[in-house]
Copies of this chain bind each other. A is one copy, B any other.
């Protein structure tokens, strides 16, 4: 199994004008990305928001599916949502990984734009095989804030198809990137 952790962050992300915002949690992000994380064998799925009411909302949704009525109704959903951990910041997620792994993870960010120093999927697939802990971070809204992207250890190439349209949902992007890094045929 890969030594990979996944985070979805709601701060610092940008809105359509490029201003830094706290975005709201989307219920289906939790479901879709936790199911992809479970499929591809990542260790945890950190949902990161600084807003306490949003943290409470996420906990309520998770509890419904992991110990509430949802758990018996849909055990497959339960086993995916059990991977979710709610954190205040990405730094808190990294601290949690340090407790588990004995070292901080390298951070890996994703963006719809191409950066000069970005890493290809095949190349990063090989990096993961070495077994060191990595934290793959997805941004909500219009994407991660610029300063946050440039602070990361790795920036992945954007996902591309045969068109120049680059507006996938974060749910789709997370599934596709996990598949490119960890999928088998």
Contacts and interface: CB of A to CB of B under 8 A. Distances in A.
A183 B161 contact: yes
Query: How many chain copies does the complex carry?
Result: 2
A91 interface: no
A79 B165 contact: yes
A179 B172 CA distance: 10
Contacts of A70: none
Contacts of A35: 165, 167-169, 172
A78 to B, nearest CB: 11
Interface stretch (A36-44, A103-111, A147-155): A36-44
A8 interface: no
A142 B104 CA distance: 39
A113 interface: no
A114 to B, nearest CB: 12
A180 B179 contact: yes
22 contacts: A1-B162, A1-B163, A28-B28, A28-B171, A31-B169, A32-B171, A32-B172, A35-B165, A35-B167, A35-B168, A36-B168, A36-B172, A39-B168, A41-B162, A120-B185, A161-B178, A172-B174, A173-B175, A175-B175, A175-B176, A176-B179, A176-B183
